[in-house]
Structure 1
């Protein structure tokens, strides 16, 4: 068990950690427990060299091992065709303007988040034509705990302008109590708030079956044009939505408008985010906050109201030198506000 302290636990990628898989430089690291009990983590642009742009470039890649909020993460093998080397999960060539976009037009594919429903894992991924220029997003499925992945087809491709561009970067989780998969989403450009959608598990690959949560005719309801659920002064990047217990959900990630990690602990994905303050825990010990951080994916086993009870995966990229470019495991404290009495919402009484 890891000690209950706030701060950095360990680098989970980088030299001496994951370079044996060809994962020397990488970021992101959204993680989930697979049906076989292993921790599956998905990473973005990955390089075998010692800095960004050096060596073999792949994205997305998967590493599989053990660990959670209370135990150090250690990866044991790679997803994909070669357990000893983290291959790109599916074939495409990283194209760029220098080639005239003649190699398929896709610069890179960035993973959003992993979802587990029953014996299957799902991966939502963002297909890009240059940085910040999303072409479409899409969903893949694994039925062998994260090793091999299958595209769910044309109906599992979502246009970049869906919901006015608010549905590009996702996080999602399944609620077995009501049988819905809840999806939070925002734009890839870190200049938008968060919207909410839901879908039945057997319809994950059918974009027409996703219902959005919107404010219309003086009330919130499903099946409307999506309305941001977060206050208008909040802009978000990478997201994490996790159901940690019945009636307890965490929504957060990289709060770009504050350049910090931010989280809300709520009773439901449709809880009033305006009356639930966002918590921004300091990532790092006193005097050692992380520069150029992002990500902030919640780890399984997180506990609330306890020093060091919450586990998160945090990325750091020093953009001027290309290193550090890594994912790290941190511990932090979040208050459990899921059942705290709040001022009633006058709109939805």
Structure 2
């Protein structure tokens, strides 16, 4: 989908990109999954801890309905989590605002489920930045990272849902309390539309931020770039990783580092291991890869499918109707990983919320 494509409604876009149960072959007759891969058969234990947004949790701040939930440690030590399209009502209806953010208690055990202490904005979870609503329809988060005293939030400017016209980085120097616009990073069609949705992580060993990117439309593989931490705002400083003349090298034109239909992603370094979690739109699953470094072979990396799609009414700890997202909560370890996974019943309009899952025994 190019920036010039005709805009779709939010529900229509998600139906086309495989979020609905029908699109993944998961109708009322039940889940008809094929044989699991060897890595999926050896998957660790998964426990659904329950909702972290919705009635009694975030509605008091005007965030009755919200999704995503991209967390990072703010400079002041609190967990700041950024959410996508947000609605006052218990349904996807009426004016939307995005992104919003909530603070969480960093000292609360993750096994007790993440607990919010306040929204950005005071008593009401306000939109982090203002922007004109014509032609912009929403500003959706990709990932957030803290470098020194500054937080950097990658966002995708949609001109009609799913039609990414530009990307940009919002910045905050007060632990997320206020955010500033900055010049655009890339047009939506940059690198064939594969630099829209991103996840990034900072490697202290070489002072580089490593960036995995794909399209917003959940129909593309992922590519890799790196940039020095101090140059994160400079589009020209991002160096691609690619295969040419029989070898992989930095500076080559970017080559997919793993094929598939990638959706939302989260890349973090945990206990010295690089962990990528993502919504696998091809299989309708929440997956993780474990690997040794930014240029490790992701085609052969240790792979687990943790949560599989099912029909509404057929859910369990490892089965979820219409899942997406899959963001790693700070404080996670390889033996006790926590993910924020979103869910939206596009047919009924509710639920539209984020849940927390606990994954034990990855390593």
**Structure-1-length-normalised TM-score:** 0.85
User: Does the alignment pair 1:223 with 2:251?
Assistant: yes
Residue of structure 2 aligned with 1:252, choices 277, 291, 314: 277
CA distance in 2, matches of 1:277, 1:227: 20
Residue of structure 2 aligned with 1:15, choices 43, 51, 55: 55
Do the aligned residues in 2 keep the contact of 1:69 with 1:310 (CA within 8 Å)? no
| Alpha carbons of structure 1 residues 287 and 158: separation in structure 2 relative to 1, 3 Å | closer
User: Does the alignment pair 1:38 with 2:65?
Assistant: no
CA distance in 1, matches of 2:289, 2:304: 6
Residue of structure 1 aligned with 2:118, choices 57, 77, 82: 77
Do the aligned residues in 1 keep the contact of 2:49 with 2:357 (CA within 8 Å)? yes
Tell me the number of residue pairs that the alignment of Structure 1 and Structure 2 aligns: 313
CA distance in 2, matches of 1:238, 1:35: 24
CA distance in 1, matches of 2:340, 2:201: 17
Shift of 1:143: 1.0
- Secondary structure of the corresponding residue to residue 191 of structure 2: helix
Do the aligned residues in 2 keep the contact of 1:264 with 1:279 (CA within 8 Å)? yes
User: Does the alignment pair 1:53 with 2:123?
Assistant: no
For residues 1-349 of structure 1, the aligned pairs below 5 Å read 6-54=46-94, 56-67=95-106, 69-79=110-120, 82-94=121-133, 104-152=134-182, 154=183, 156-230=184-258, 232=259, 234-246=260-272, 248-282=273-307, 286=316, 289-304=319-334, 306=335, 309-333=336-360, 335-336=362-363
- Secondary structure of the corresponding residue to residue 279 of structure 1: strand
- Secondary structure of the corresponding residue to residue 304 of structure 2: coil
Do the aligned residues in 1 keep the contact of 2:150 with 2:171 (CA within 8 Å)? yes
CA distance in 2, matches of 1:24, 1:235: 30
Do the aligned residues in 2 keep the contact of 1:163 with 1:225 (CA within 8 Å)? no
| Alpha carbons of structure 1 residues 10 and 286: separation in structure 2 relative to 1, 3 Å | closer
Shift of 1:288: 6.4
- Secondary structure of the corresponding residue to residue 163 of structure 1: helix
Do the aligned residues in 2 keep the contact of 1:107 with 1:128 (CA within 8 Å)? yes
Shift of 1:35: 1.5
Shift of 1:37: 1.3
| Alpha carbons of structure 1 residues 84 and 13: separation in structure 2 relative to 1, 3 Å | same
Shift of 1:72: 1.8
Do the aligned residues in 2 keep the contact of 1:281 with 1:333 (CA within 8 Å)? no
Do the aligned residues in 2 keep the contact of 1:213 with 1:224 (CA within 8 Å)? yes
CA distance in 1, matches of 2:97, 2:193: 26
Q: Quote the residue 1:99 is aligned against.
A: none
Q: Quote the residue 2:25 is aligned against.
A: none
Shift of 1:334: 5.4
Do the aligned residues in 1 keep the contact of 2:47 with 2:317 (CA within 8 Å)? no
- Secondary structure of the corresponding residue to residue 192 of structure 2: helix
| Alpha carbons of structure 1 residues 37 and 89: separation in structure 2 relative to 1, 3 Å | same
CA distance in 1, matches of 2:233, 2:181: 9
Structure 1: 5+ residue stretches without partners: 95-103, 337-349
After superposition, the CA RMSD in angstroms is 1.9
CA distance in 1, matches of 2:166, 2:140: 11
| Alpha carbons of structure 1 residues 287 and 328: separation in structure 2 relative to 1, 3 Å | closer
Q: Which string of whole-angstrom CA distances, capped at 9 and with x for unpartnered residues, describes residues 262-306 of structure 1? A: 1111111110011114211136985762100000001112222x3
CA distance in 2, matches of 1:127, 1:134: 6
Do the aligned residues in 1 keep the contact of 2:45 with 2:361 (CA within 8 Å)? no
Shift of 1:333: 3.4
CA distance in 2, matches of 1:227, 1:36: 38
